[in-house]
Structures are given as structure tokens and as C-alpha cells.
Chains A and B, each alone.
Chain A
Amino acid sequence: MAGANPQHEERGSHAPHLAHHFDSLGQQFESGKLGMWLFLSTEVLLFGGLFCAYAVYRSNHPEIFIYAHQFLDKTLGGINTVVLICSSLSMAWAVRAAQLNQQRLLVILLSLTILGGFGFLGIKFVEYEHKWKHGLLWGARYHPDEHPHDEGQTPEEERSHEEAERAGVTEAETVVETTEAGVVVERSKVLPAA
């Protein structure tokens, strides 16, 4: 028989942030931390499934991915990644600042995070608006323009377009091969002819 449990007495109830069912702030903090890690593990598995579907689709139809990458904007995508990582950093740092009672730093970091959030949305708006205008939509609604890069090109876009055209010869061949499977018939016609 172990003895009675002293932690279950009402000690520590004076701490204002301590929930009634925890014995100490340390226990409460540790529980929250474990819970957050467990939640993150579920996120890994959620996206794991998504990446798995992506990998299967890509290995089944590599030509679609080679064809589609020419429509992507590397610069905006790169900036977006940096914005995301930086705002994650500023958010995590803000939590630490809150725990250490550094209010000024906390306000600065939270503002940076919010700024990053709007920056992300702004970049996405530019990217998606572009895709929408040229009919680069999902599945059944995919109706691309004949010449997707006619208007409003940035030099960056032009360059990637040229790269794609240079690579066009081999891609066109890949696509012709797979049309036998009846997959991407209409897509072959928008490929830049070499």
C-alpha cells in the first residue's frame, strides 16, 4: 500500500493560472506540452497521407508534373516559403517572450507574425489570381488559355517560360506517349511546340 497522495490536497490553488485538476503549474505546463506534441504527431500523419497520395500520383504520371511545373513561379514560391518559416519563428519566439514576461518583445514579435500572415495571403492572391485568369484550375474546370503567358509577365516569368520552352521538346514527346492511356490528350495541345 502506498501512502496517501499529498498532491491531491488543495495546495497550490492560490496560483491564478492553475486549473483545478492540476496539482502544480509544472504539471500543468508539462501536460500542455505533451498534448501539443501529440497533436503535432497527428498533423504529421495527416499530411503524411497527403504526401503519400502526391508521391503515388507523381510516380504514376510523371509527365503531368513535368508539364505543370512551367506554370509555377519560383520567386514568389521561394519568398512565400521564407515568409512562412519566419512567421513560425516569430510566433514561437513570441510564446517564449510571453513566458518570460517580456511584453515589448512580445508585441513586436506578434506584430511581425501578423504581418507575415498578411504577406502570405498577398503573395497567394497574386499567384492564384494569375492561375485563375488563365484557366489553370482543378480537375474538371481545367481550361487553360492557348497562350498562358501573353500578358503581364514579369521577367522572372518570362525566363521560366523560356526554360520550359527549351525543355519542351522532350516533354512533348512524353505527353504523346501517355495519350495512349487517355489521360492528358487535351493538355498536349498547349505544350509549346519546339
Chain B
Amino acid sequence: MTTGDRTVPEGGRSASPAKDEDNYLTHTRGLLSWLTTLDHKRIGVMYLVSILVAFFLGGMAAILVRTEHLTGTPTIMQADSYNKMFTFHGVAMVFLFIIPGIPAALGNFVLPIMLGAKDVAFPRLNLTSWYLWIGGALLAMLSLILGGVETGWTFYTPYSTTTKITSGVIPVVAGAFVLGFSSIFTGLNFIVTVHKLRPPGMGWFRLPLFVWGLYATALVQILATPVLGITLLLLIVERAFGYGIFDPALGGDPILFQHFFWFYSHPAVYIMILPGMGIMSELVSVFSRKHIFSYKFIAYSSIAIAVFGFLVWGHHMFTSGQSPAMSMIFSALTFSVAIPSAIKVFNWTATMYKGAITLKTPMLYALSFIFLFGIGGLTGLFLGSLVTNQYLHDSYFVVAHFHYVMFGGTVVAFLGGLHYWWPKMFGRLYSDRLGQLACLLMFVGVNVTFFSQFLLGSHGMPRRYFNYPAQFTPLHVLSTIGSYMLVASFLLIAYYLLDSLVRGKKAPDNPWGGATLEWQTTSPPPVENFKKTPIVGDPYDFSCLRYDPEIGGYIRIQEGAS
């Protein structure tokens, strides 16, 4: 971009070869230049690759678990391997994929650019947290070599401190501890970045809503994760040295572990979903060509969800023997979380009302999110009310509920964000037609896989059981077929995204017409993010953008010119 005029771009600049010569991908070369980079964009890409590997491994475990359930008797594995398989699926997906997923991969890449900054506040800490992720992942893999873990991803005591079948508990718990610090450092970095690196003219209410989502997430990350850290440390100490903190045989209190664990792990649910909601706000507004409806309510509701999220952990323990008074309070507080979540959903719907909606791939994911998250959220109310919880507790209904939220919510939002920022990250366009097809296949797959599990749960199928009576066979087979559809959709996505890197058309600077700052720089961005100072304005004001068919993207029109 050599033009000195900041608002009128040269025609066809996206194809100009001079731009491609120096961007963050090509600035330096070689593996070492990546492993020692302090560039938030490269760290974001390294996170992206790492979490997708974890997602692949966790997904393989899930497919094996589903395949095992094709029959009510042993199908492809024994009970012991089955326990290890669902534990690995849970650990890999929760700790290695969903928690770091959106903030550390997409957030790392986009957040500083959205703020017009050159990097996050602490680039070295950023790289450190990626290495901590790698360390934690290796520890988790080590536990597999040592014989696997069959405690479930929740590591409930006293089973996890006394089980002798496996010796992998300590490494996997140590891995989760290390991953916790990776997550804390990312959160810390983002909070300082949002506070201190905003450009002049970008007040708190001119931040893109994705940044609000990441900010709320970061608050939860730094306030909840340390408690998980100390809990896991106590668990390790208990298992290794025979302290009696959680083991009732030694005078410990196993319920204390559950309180500690869920004090982190319930807020962690919001670590998983809040950034996804942030992506949603971007997608819905951009692809409806309409200003986001009620910006402040969406921004505040992110903070409200983060705060309420700390007060509801007891709803995981309604059947643990905690006092009825406590259960009632936790149940009431749980219902209150529905309010800020519903505010968001209503505002997204209102944003689309009378908008000029284009059904590009990212928007299809956004629409899927509203539908799937709606089901996931509303079924949470069944589980949050005390009477129905007694019946549904630890059944497939719970499994279906959190998969609708985690898969239908977070993973779908992650894919929406990935498709949205892919052209910015790698400077290539993928096939929109294949993208739409894959999204459709996934939408059907999620519902086939997990809706059948709602039915299984309400008919009495308990979670984590190896075998089941014949009456459950049809629904289990249906759920497994759905999971194969999900595999097919992921293979398709992997195919066309990788293909776009090789054969994809060069992406224009602003293919979707987004008004946030990352669309004002080149695709892919240069090392210092902006060649010229971006113009800070309302992040959802699309009136100054015009589609230019010549370059296949949007350009900024001069103020007052039209």
C-alpha cells in the first residue's frame, strides 16, 4: 500500500505483487523463526495448528466411543479401554481444545489488530503460554503411554486418588495444571492489552464485541483457573504422598474436591462459550449489513455471564448430598444465568431483522449457533431445576445438553470465526460452496448425534456406561450415525481449507465488508499489523463501505462522498 491517501485505495491493489512480498507469514523463514517468534499472529497460528491436532485426537477417541455403542455388548473394545477412551476424549477436548481454542488461536491473532495495536502487551509471555500448552499436552500424552486414565475428565476423588488400575493419573492432572497456567497467562495478556493498548478514539463502547467477549473470558480465566491449579496440586499430593485431604478413609472430604473442581469448571464453561458469543456478534452484524442491535446490552451481558458464572457451581452437585437450602440457592442462581444469555440471542435476532442477510459460510455457522445454542441453553434449565435434575442427573440428557452447548455453541462459533478470519490469516479464499455444504452436513450431524442422546437420557440411559439393554439400541445407532456425519463434514472442511492454501484465490483486504480494524489492513497483515494508521470508528457502521466487484471485496468510500 503505497498510496498516501488513506481513504481511496488504488484499484486492484489486492492483486499487486508488491504487497505479497512482505507479510507476517513470509517476513522470516524457517521452523526456528516460528518457534522463537514473538509475533502474536504467528503464535495464534501455532496455537491454531496445535489445538486442531488435539481436536483431531479427541475426535478420534469420540468416534471410537460412539462406534463401541453400536451394540449393547462389547463391540470393538473392552470396558477398561472404553473408560480410558471417554476420559481421553473429555480431557483432550476440554483442556487442550475448547478452553484455549477461540481465545488463544483466533483471539491471539485478531485482538491486537482489532485494537490497532502492534502486538499484545506481553509478547514473551504469549509465547511462554504456547510452550506451556505444549508441555501440558505432552504430559497428558505421557499418561496415555503409562496406561491411560479412566477417571473421566472430572478426576473425582476418592476414585482418582485410589485407583490402582492405571498409573496415568498424576501426569494427566499435572498436564491440566500446566495448561491452567497457559490459560491464565493468555487471559492476563488480553486484559492488559485491552486496558492499555487501545488507540485514542476507541473508548470501551467502541470496542468490537469480540473484544468484549475475550475480555470477559480473560476475567474468568485469571480468577477461576488458579483454584483449579491448587485443587489439582492437592490431588497430586494426595495421590503421591497419601495426604488425607479428599479421601474419606484418611479423614478427607471428597465433596470438597467437587466444590473446588466446579468452582473452576463451571466458570470454565463460560471461558468456552463467551468468546464464541463474541464471534457471533461480529458475524451476525457483518453478514446482515446492519448495526448490531443494542451494543451495550451485549457488552454488559458478557460481563454479567462472567460474574454469574462464579456463583452457580453447586448445580453440578445437586445429588451429592449438599444441603437442600444450598441446592435451592444454586438452582435459583442458575436460572439467572439464562437472562444475559437470552439477551444476547434476542439481540442477534433483532440485528438480523430487516437486515440484508448474505448466507456466506460464516453466517451459516452463526445461524446454526443460534439454533443449537438455543437448544443447549434451554435444556440447561431442565437440569438446573431441582426436581427434574434428580431424574436426569448423570444421564445422557446431561451429555446431550453440554454437547449442544460445547459443540453446537463453541465449536460451531469457532468454525464460524475460522471461516470469517481465514482470508485475513492466510490471504486466501476457500470455496464458499463447499463451505456451505460442510456447514449444512455438520448442522444435521450435530442434531442427529446429540438429539438422540436427549431421548436416551430421558428414557433412563446413564452416562459413561459401557453396555446397555437392547431397548436403547436404535437411538444409540442413530447417534453413532450422526457422529459419522460429523466426521465427514470435518474431512470436507479440512480438505477445502487446506486446498485454499495452495490453490485458493488471493483474498482482498476486506472480503466480507467488516468495519472492525482488522479489515483495514492487508490480507495477510504485515509484521507490524498496519502499513498505515487505521481509522477508528464505530465497529458496526457499514455505511462507509462499498462492494467493489473488481477486487471482490469491500472498500472504504471517502467520508461525505456518497
Contact = CB atoms under 8 A, between A and B. Distances in A.
B223 A45 contact: yes
B562 to A, nearest CB: 15
Interface stretch (B189-197, B207-215, B436-444, B477-485): B189-197
Interface residues of A, number: 43
A31 B125 CA distance: 13
Interface in A1-19: 1-9, 19
B226 A20 contact: no
B551 to A, nearest CB: 23
Contacts of B117: 21
A4 B528 CA distance: 17
Contacts of B230: 46-47, 49-50, 53
Point out which of A1, A42, A47 has the most chain B C-beta atoms below 10 A from its C-beta. Answer: A42
A121 interface: no
B382 interface: no
B545 to A, nearest CB: 13
Contact of B222 (A31, A41, A181): A41
Interface string A41-73: 111011111101100110011001000000000
Given A21-B197, A57-B245, A31 B192 contact: yes
Given A5-B201, A5-B533, A31-B196, A42 B242 contact: no
A42 B222 contact: yes
A77 interface: no
A183 B118 CA distance: 59
Interface stretch (B247-255, B276-284, B311-319): B247-255
Point out which of B224, B226, B534 has the most chain A C-beta atoms below 10 A from its C-beta. Answer: B226
Contact of B119 (A2, A21, A47, A60): A21
Given A31-B196, A35-B188, A46-B227, A21 B123 contact: yes
A141 interface: yes
Interface residues of B, number: 54
Point out which of A50, A53, A141 has the most chain B C-beta atoms below 10 A from its C-beta. Answer: A53
A43 B226 contact: yes
25 contacts: A5-B199, A5-B200, A5-B533, A5-B536, A7-B200, A9-B533, A21-B112, A21-B121, A21-B123, A21-B197, A22-B197, A27-B196, A35-B188, A38-B188, A41-B223, A42-B226, A45-B226, A48-B227, A50-B234, A52-B260, A56-B256, A60-B253, A64-B251, A138-B243, A139-B238
B68 to A, nearest CB: 37
A31 to B, nearest CB: 4
Contact of B241 (A7, A20, A139): A139
A2 B188 contact: no
Nearest to B125: A35
Contacts of B256: 53, 56
B199 A7 contact: yes
A5 B116 contact: yes
Contacts of A19: 123
B222 A4 contact: no
Contacts of B533: 4-5, 8-9
Interface of B: 6, 112, 116-123, 125, 184, 188-189, 191-192, 195-197, 199-202, 222-227, 229-231, 234, 238, 241-245, 250-253, 256, 260, 528, 530, 533-537, 544, 559
Contacts of B201: 2-3, 5
Contacts of A1: 535-537, 544, 559
A155 B198 CA distance: 63
Given A27-B196, A42-B222, A141 B241 contact: yes
A173 B130 CA distance: 55
B266 to A, nearest CB: 15
Contacts of A180: none
A56 B196 CA distance: 40
Contacts of B251: 57, 60-61, 64, 181, 183-184
A161 B130 CA distance: 52
Determine chain A's interface SS by DSSP, over half rule.
helix
Contact of A35 (B121, B224, B229, B241): B121
A49 B260 contact: yes
Contacts of B250: 139, 183
Nearest to A137: B241
A38 B234 CA distance: 23
A57 B255 CA distance: 12
Contacts of B120: 21
Given A2-B535, A45-B224, A53-B245, 6 more contacts: A21-B197, A38-B188, A46-B230, A49-B227, A50-B234, A138-B241
Contact of A49 (B231, B238, B528, B537): B231
Contacts of B222: 38, 41-42
A126 interface: no
Contacts of A61: 251
Interface string A168-191: 000000000000010110000000
Contacts of A22: 197
A39 B188 contact: yes
A94 to B, nearest CB: 22
A11 to B, nearest CB: 12
Contact of A141 (B225, B242, B559): B242
Contacts of A139: 238, 241-244, 250
Contact of B242 (A3, A5, A45, A140): A140
B242 A138 contact: yes
A34 interface: yes
A151 interface: no
Contacts of B123: 19, 21
Contact of B184 (A7, A42, A53): A42
Point out which of B6, B117, B192, B260 has the most chain A C-beta atoms below 10 A from its C-beta. Answer: B192
Nearest to A23: B197
B304 to A, nearest CB: 20
Contacts of A3: 201
